[in-house]
Amino acid sequence: MNVNDFEYIAQLLYQRSGLVITQEKAYLLESRLNPVARKWDLDSVDALIGVLRTKKDEQLTVDVTEAMTTNESFFFRDSRPFDQFKDIVLPHLLEARAARKQIRIWSAACSSGQEPYTLAMILKEEAARLAGWRIEIVATDLSKEILDKAKQGLYSQFEVQRGLPITLLMKYFSQEGEKWRVSEEIRQMVSYKPFNLLTSPAALGHFDVVFCRNVLIYFDQATKGQVLARIAQIMPADGFLYLGGAETVLGVSDSFEVVPGQRGVYRLTGDGAAMNRKAG
Amino acid sequence: MKSCLIVDDSKVVRMVARKILEGLSFDIDEAEDGQKAIEACQRHMPDAVLLDWNMPVMNGLQFLQELRAMQDVHQPIVVFCTTENDMDHIKRAMEAGANEYIMKPFDSDIIESKFVQVGLI
């Protein structure tokens, strides 16, 4: 791939998804765009970029963006965030929302569904404490293709073994040939919607808990700040935000601060909450 | 250092599993069938057992039943690791007292995440 082609596609990806791709990751373009080239009956990634530049086909552009922004995930990824959810976030909300008995959770870059299904399984396990509560899990991703996979809830043997305890596999999955499908009761707890983090999430409503893990790392500083500012606006003053292990709000956003002693979990600062009230 | 007994009739599987678990700082012992594994446990009870199902002489499930019937010993954590990948086998293993279950083929990520889940790491 020549430098011009790389620059062109890097620019396109930035505009469409906020993804920042640098020259040393150029190999990712080759490996991920090869299947797209085949799908479009093109000989090579170079040919694909040629068509992209001359025809500006919208569907091809969407396919390219989706191929580059789809990331692998697994159940109970990093495990600690989910322990924190069960031990700190959930008890707080059960007390604070006792009158309304309603909690809304957003999985903001849900990929193939492991994160929202993990949350759904945790909530199902806590069903006794949640009787009479209305809990919504909204899961979004930029890629419609990956959302289709998420909705199906069908995973390979490898996927169901990384992070998922066998007891939960027995309880909430059934076997279909070589694959494993998430049970209907878990699938119906999650509603999937396509959503681009570069746009306003206002239409999705307000969320008590937002999981936005391992996606900011692909954005530049300015974009990270904008995404966090928009998330701050759809959270109540006592809401919780989750970021990935390699992500931070430091130097990016004044709206959030880490919950003391809980790495990876953030809450609105006084400033963030005040901005929120003004906006709300 | 925690100890793990690897029970598998395949020398290759034992070697791969040994390499992964030594990388996770386990002290390794090996057995090639359930009977030899029982003898190994009588000599020295490990903290963990990584257990194949189909083996000559005594299979993994029989080994597990005998192990769990042993009195006055410190019971190890048992993680099945087998090509048997249907719900029926998984249920039988768990009912017999297994703590976790790995379906082959496995890799170091799977072994590590399962060992973390059962508190060995």
Domain of A224, CATH number, reads 3.40.50.150
Looking at residue A274, its pLDDT comes to 65
pLDDT tens-digit series, residues A98-134: 999 999 999 999 999 999 999 999 999 999 999 999 9
Q: Could you tell me if A156 and A109 lie in one domain?
A: yes
For residue A74, what pLDDT band results from cuts at 50, 70 and 90?
Answer: confident
Residues of B with Cβ-Cβ distance to A155 under 8 angstroms: none
What mean pLDDT comes out for the span A52-59? 90
Q: Flag whether residue A71 sits within 8 Å of chain B, measured between CB atoms.
A: no
Looking at residue A44, its pLDDT comes to 93
Q: Could you tell me if A64 and A88 lie in one domain?
A: no
Q: Is the dihedral of CA A227, A231, A232, A234 positive or negative?
A: positive
What total of structural domains would you count in chain B? 1
Nearest-Cα residue of chain A relative to residue B81: A161
Å between B35 CA and nearest CA of chain A:
26
Q: What whole-number distance in Å separates Cα of residue A240 and Cα of residue A108?
A: 13
Q: What whole-number distance in Å separates Cα of residue A177 and Cα of residue B107?
A: 21
Domain that holds residue B7: 3-117
| Secondary structure class of A194 (helix, strand, coil) | strand
- Facing A166 at nearest CB: one of B100, B107, B109: B100
What ipTM did this prediction achieve? 0.93
Residues of B with Cβ-Cβ distance to A157 under 8 angstroms: 85, 103
Q: Could you tell me if A65 and A117 lie in one domain?
A: no
Angle at B26 between CA B24 and CA B30, to 5 degrees: 125
Q: Could you tell me if A145 and A232 lie in one domain?
A: yes
**What share of chain A in percent tops pLDDT 70?**
95
Q: Could you tell me if A39 and A87 lie in one domain?
A: no
Lowest mean pLDDT across A14-18, A230-234, B28-32: A14-18
Domain that holds residue A250: 80-279
Q: Flag whether residue A176 sits within 8 Å of chain B, measured between CB atoms.
A: no
Q: Is residue A75 part of a domain?
A: no
Write the CATH number for B13. 3.40.50.2300
Q: Is residue A74 part of a domain?
A: no
Q: Could you tell me if A90 and A184 lie in one domain?
A: yes
Q: Report which DSSP code applies to A87.
A: I
For residue A277, what pLDDT band results from cuts at 50, 70 and 90?
Answer: low
What total of structural domains would you count in chain A? 2
**What share of chain B in percent tops pLDDT 90?**
94
**More confident of the two residues A145 and A70:** A145
Number of helices (H) and strands (E) in chain B: give both, helices first: 5, 5
CA distances A268 to A43, A227, A238, B2, B108, Å, are 50, 14, 7, 43, 39
Residue A236 scores a pLDDT above 60:
yes
Å between B85 CA and nearest CA of chain A:
9
Q: Could you tell me if A55 and A153 lie in one domain?
A: no
| Contact flag A79-B85 (C-beta cutoff 8 Å) | no
Q: Could you tell me if A43 and A122 lie in one domain?
A: no
Lowest mean pLDDT across A109-113, A242-246, A271-275, B2-6: A271-275
Looking at residue A280, its pLDDT comes to 45
| Secondary structure class of A215 (helix, strand, coil) | coil
| Contact flag A175-B86 (C-beta cutoff 8 Å) | yes
Looking at residue A91, its pLDDT comes to 95
| Contact flag A175-B87 (C-beta cutoff 8 Å) | yes
pLDDT tens-digit series, residues A192-210: 999 999 999 999 999 999 9
pLDDT tens-digit series, residues B35-87: 999 999 999 999 999 999 999 999 999 999 999 999 999 999 999 999 999 99
Which residues of B have a CB under 8 Å from any CB of A? 85-87, 90-91, 94, 100-103, 106-107, 109-110, 113-114, 116-117
Residues of B with Cβ-Cβ distance to A158 under 8 angstroms: 107, 110
